[in-house]
């Protein structure tokens, strides 16, 4: 007699019931990184889950996975505009503009001076160029970086209402929002299915960049909920790790309550390594650049100087020092961000790339 199919856990049932758009090609691919593994002494097996290759909407990236839920909510509320905020080279505002465009909505994005640099064409190339190309209403101002909610978005929101539109507010990174953690909780469900169907090894360690926090938080919820002992390690790239860790914890616990009131996120599940942010958001340090070069020159894995270069630096060091234990199977969660590279070309001249 065939075995009965085990019941779906409560959190997965709730997750599956929450409306979302279909902006992704499907499960993002998982890539083995054999040359990077060898370069780090074959101590651990390294793979990458490529959320940078997950969507056809303006180069994809992790924000598109999150925005599937937020845009569905915006449409259910009959919104006409998505309103959000980020830095001049924000991957998030590019993704907001892309998902709005693909959904027949308008996008208003406030692009602030989160990074205290002015390299050539910084506000004319990379992500902001793509947002303008898609017809986004891009508004520059000089507010500095912090991960909280911003006054300028409130002003844009009120302006749209006054003109008769119906705006929908999306916080920085699509993070500090009731639905912000769902995309990366679903990432873990997706990963477990890929491990089984593709006969992949069990990924005992997930490593992710953390700034506004919902990618990191969603992974924590997914890992705790499935109960298989996966460790999630966040690498801070905000330069303000206390704020980031507090926001990760809040988003994770709010997401857990939304999915299953019995699901508890323990303090020890919230791990944020603050050694690799290079002192400030948005500016690469020497370790960032060296890590980017190593990933690119082993498995042609391209990372960016704001987010993924810093998390790659973290992963490399954690493997070298043994914090990620020999014999582990590591999944590097690639969140995207490469469109910003052109805006940082002055950091990668001939001498720097030798």
Supply the residues annotated as catalytic: 90
63 near 23, Cβ under 8 Å? no
Q: How many CA atoms lie within 13 A of 44 on its CB side?
A: 24
d(Cα 346, Cα 263) in Å, to the nearest integer? 47
Whether residue 40 contacts residue 291, with contact meaning beta carbons closer than 8 Å, is answered with no
Closest by CA to 114, choosing from 92, 147, 138, 136, is 147
Q: Which long-range contacts (CB under 8 A, 24 or more apart) does 242-245 make?
A: 243/146, 243/147, 243/148, 244/147, 244/210, 244/211, 244/212, 244/213, 244/272, 245/270, 245/272
Of 237, 347, 353, whose CA–CA distance to 297 is shortest?
Answer: 353
Cβ(40)–Cβ(320) under 8 Å? yes
For residue 19, count other CB atoms closer than 10 A to its CB: 12
Tell me 295's DSSP state.
Answer: H
Dihedral sign, CA of 344, 140, 116, 334?
A: negative
Name the nearest CA neighbour of 89 among 303, 347, 344, 349: 344
Query: Which residues 6+ apart lie within 8 Å of 250 measured at CB?
Result: 176
Are the CB atoms for 302 and 296 separated by under 8 Å? yes
The rounded distance, in Å, linking the Cα atoms of 132 and 125 is: 10
Q: How many CB atoms lie within 10 A of CB 133?
A: 12
Count the neighbouring beta carbons within 10 Å of the beta carbon of residue 271: 17
């Amino acid at each position: 007699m065939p075995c009965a199919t085990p019941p779906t856990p409560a959190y997965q049932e709730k997750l599956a019931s929450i409306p979302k758009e279909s902006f992704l090609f499907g499960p993002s691919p998982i890539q083995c990184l054999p040359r990077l593994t060898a370069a780090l002494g074959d101590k651990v097996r390294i793979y990458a889950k490529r959320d940078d290759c997950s969507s056809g909407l303006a180069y994809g990236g992790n924000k598109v996975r999150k925005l599937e839920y937020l845009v569905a909510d915006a449409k259910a509320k009959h919104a006409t505009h998505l309103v959000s905020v980020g830095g001049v080279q924000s991957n998030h505002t590019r993704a907001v503009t892309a998902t709005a465009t693909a959904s027949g909505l308008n996008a208003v994005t406030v692009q602030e001076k989160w990074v205290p640099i002015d390299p050539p064409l910084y506000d004319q190339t990379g992500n902001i160029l793509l947002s303008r190309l898609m017809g986004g209403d891009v508004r520059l101002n000089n507010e500095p970086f912090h991960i909280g909610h911003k006054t300028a978005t409130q002003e844009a929101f009120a302006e749209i209402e006054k003109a008769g539109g119906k705006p929908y507010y999306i916080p920085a990174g699509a993070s500090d929002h009731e639905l912000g953690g769902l995309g990366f909780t679903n990432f873990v469900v997706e990963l477990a299915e890929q491990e089984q169907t593709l006969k992949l090894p069990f990924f005992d360690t997930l490593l992710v960049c953390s700034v506004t926090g919902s990618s990191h938080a969603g992974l924590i919820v997914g890992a705790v909920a499935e109960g298989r002992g996966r460790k999630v390690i966040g690498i801070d790239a905000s330069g303000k790790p206390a704020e980031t860790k507090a926001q990760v914890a809040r988003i994770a616990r709010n997401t857990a309550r939304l999915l299953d009131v019995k699901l508890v996120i323990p303090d020890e599940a919230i791990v944020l390594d603050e050694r690799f942010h290079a002192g400030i958001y948005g500016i690469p340090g020497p370790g960032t650049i060296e890590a980017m070069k190593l990933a690119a020159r082993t498995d042609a894995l391209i990372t960016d100087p704001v987010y993924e270069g810093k998390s790659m630096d973290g992963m490399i060091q954690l493997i070298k020092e043994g914090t990620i234990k020999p014999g582990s199977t590591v999944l590097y969660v690639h969140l995207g961000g490469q469109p910003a590279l052109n805006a940082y070309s002055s950091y990668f001249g001939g001498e720097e790339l030798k």
